Structure 1
Amino acid sequence: MRVFVAGATGVIGSRLVPLLLSTGHDVIGLARSQDAGAGLERLGADVVHADALDHAAMRHAVRVAAPDAVVHLLTAIPARIDPRRLSRDFAQTNRLRTQGTINLVDAAAQTGAKRVITLGSASVYEPNGPDPATEDVPFWHRPPKEFIPVLDALRELEALTAEAGGLVLRVGHLYGPGTIYARNGSFLHQVQSRNVPIVGQGTGTFSFTHIDDAARAIVAALETTADGALNVVDDEPAQVGEWLPVLADLLDVPPPVHIPVQMARSAFGSWGVAFMTELRGADNTNAKRVLDWSPKYPSWRQGFEAELAHPGSP
């Protein structure tokens, strides 16, 4: 299968491209710079150069690539995010999830690509439910103001993917090389500096996804005709009050301190507080069944241990 990967040099794309090549697929990676393209070519992928936000350029790039499938992994998330300025920090990613998706699905339709796979989020469900959210649970109805543009962009991405008959893979909090949870990542630096407290009782529930598990799910999805959306997350959603102390212990730093919600709101804003106290985990049952996929790291515990206790482990 000829697979066009937009976002081929990102944290998931950098794991996906070699995996696709090793399983016999032909890969065409989208690159904006010559340097990024050279890296893909060394792996054995073909490269096309275009700006994903340029409609005409994307139509030309995909036409030249003539793919059977298009995979949309494009984001522009900063290495460090200010929760009080979330809408600012996600502005370019929101454009890639809206106009970028329009350009990609239009180009895919023009060239007759039979498969469209996009990357969504499993961290957007209506909070405070009793169980991890299945894909049928609605998105957050009244999120903090800073999160509204991000959520609107994800809704549009999903609607555009559905119109194209494609599949959205809703990933959890990504960890592994190149992410904020990598040993040199911004979040770990904050934990090591003791700048990440447990807010209130630490009741925000996270579902994690290792980048290798996300890449493996994409490869599995290419072999199916599944549409709609699937949660690609590990088997163990966990509250901040549970996983953050484990992370601190792996980094050999003291346990995080607890601070009241009001104090956190003045320091981190309403989104920062919601992020740490209200997020809802996700259920991966459907992804396992539909994709015949299971995570390499069933729990973030195993994944964090592999990445942080033994640096450089795959």
Structure 2
Amino acid sequence: MRVLIAGASGVIGRQLTPMLQEEGHDVVGLARAAFPSSARVVQADALDLDAVVRVVSETRPDVIVNMLTAIPGQLDPKRFAEQLELTNRLRIQGTSNLITAAAEVGVRQFLSQGLAFAYDPGGEGPASEDAPLFAGARRVPTFLARWAIGPWGVAFMTALRGAANDRARRILGWQPAFASWRTGFTAELRSTAR
């Protein structure tokens, strides 16, 4: 099966590529710039709809895996909003472009990464979908940490909560089929190949 990984040069994309290849899949990576990879890499800007449609049309994937990000290697917690601006655009417009291209070409499956670090760190256990989002300033144990990395940075480094899927389970009657993303990707790609 041919799998197009959008964001193949990222941290997860670089791990996912060889794993899928070991399973026998033909992996094509989509990235803004060339990078060393065991897969064929196609360069395109995910924010350019025409370029994304062209890549998807040319590569004809069975599955698109969306791992689009542009997170800098060195994050400055005091500048998160600025440093994550491109990632936010990729997650909104880039994802929309991938979905549009997938629909136009008739891609059978679309998988997209999700994040859950935006929940307020207060409380216990995983955060449900109803939990409040992290709103910014919090008391931290040391003034120096707050000064150095800001309150959001302190919470990000020390108090992030996991996210529960209770609402999806309750409303949709959904149960996760896989214990991890690794087993889920492998099983889903195998089932699509049949």
TM range (shorter): 0.7 to 0.9
Equivalent residue for 1:114? 108
What does 1:151-300 correspond to in 2, within 5 Å?
Answer: 199-200=140-141, 260=142, 262-276=143-157, 278-282=159-163, 290-294=176-180
Residue by residue over 1:238-261, the C-alpha shift from the partner in whole angstroms, topping out at 9 and shown as x without a partner, is xxxxxxxxxxxxxxxxxxxxxx3x
Q: Deviations over 1:276-295 (max 9, x none)?
A: 45532345998xx6343348
Structure number with the higher strand fraction is 1
Aligned-pair distance for 1:93? Answer: 1.0
Q: Does 1:65 align with 2:59?
A: yes
Classify the secondary structure of the residue corresponding to 1:117.
Answer: strand
Write out per-residue CA displacement over residues 197-237 of structure 1, whole angstroms, 9 at most, x where no aligned residue: xx42xxxxxxxxxxxxxxxxxxxxxxxxxxxxxxxxxxxxx
Does the 8 Å contact 1:124/1:139 carry over to 2? no
Paired residue type of 2:156: F
Could you tell me how far 1:23 is from its partner in structure 2? 0.6
Matched, 1:129 2:123: yes
**Contact residue 29 and residue 48 of structure 1 kept, 8 A:** yes
TM-score normalised by L of structure 1: 0.49
SS for the counterpart of 1:125 is: coil
Is 1:138 aligned with 2:24? Answer: no
RMSD across aligned positions (CA) = 2.7
One-letter code of the match for 1:105?
I
Residue equivalent to 2:78: 84
- CA deviation digits over 1:23-45, x for unaligned, max 9? 12121211333x42xx33xx2x3
Q: TM-score, normalised by structure 2?
A: 0.76
State the percentage of identical aligned residues: 47
Q: Is the 8 A contact 1:126 1:138 kept in 2?
A: no
Question: CA contact under 8 A between 2:31 and 2:42: conserved in structure 1?
Answer: yes
Q: Which residue of 2 aligns with 1:18?
A: 18
**Within 2, Cα distance between the matches of 1:132 and 1:291?**
19
Structure 1 SS opposite 2:176? helix
Q: Which residue in 1 is equivalent to 2:69?
A: 75
Partners of 1:139 and 1:53 lie apart in 2 by 31
Question: Would the aligned equivalents of 1:126 and 1:137 in 2 still touch at CA under 8 Å?
Answer: no
Structure 1 stretches of 5 or more lacking a match?
A: 146-198, 201-259, 297-314
Q: Secondary structure at the match of 1:292?
A: coil
CA–CA distance in 2 between the matches of 1:99 and 1:115? Answer: 19
2:92 is aligned, of 80, 95, 98, to 98
- In structure 1, the partner of 2:189 is none
SS in 2 for 1:290: coil
1:120 and 1:75 map into 2 onto residues whose CA distance is 11
Count of aligned positions = 173
- Cα deviations by residue, 1:139-190 (Å, 9 ceiling, x for unpaired): 6435228xxxxxxxxxxxxxxxxxxxxxxxxxxxxxxxxxxxxxxxxxxxxx
Q: Distance in 1 between matches of 2:14 and 2:149?
A: 32
Matched-pair contact (CA < 8 Å) for 1:53–1:99: yes
Decide whether aligned partners of structure 1 residues 278 and 143 sit closer, same or farther in structure 2, where only a CA change above 3 A counts: farther
Q: Is the 8 A contact 2:118 2:134 kept in 1?
A: no
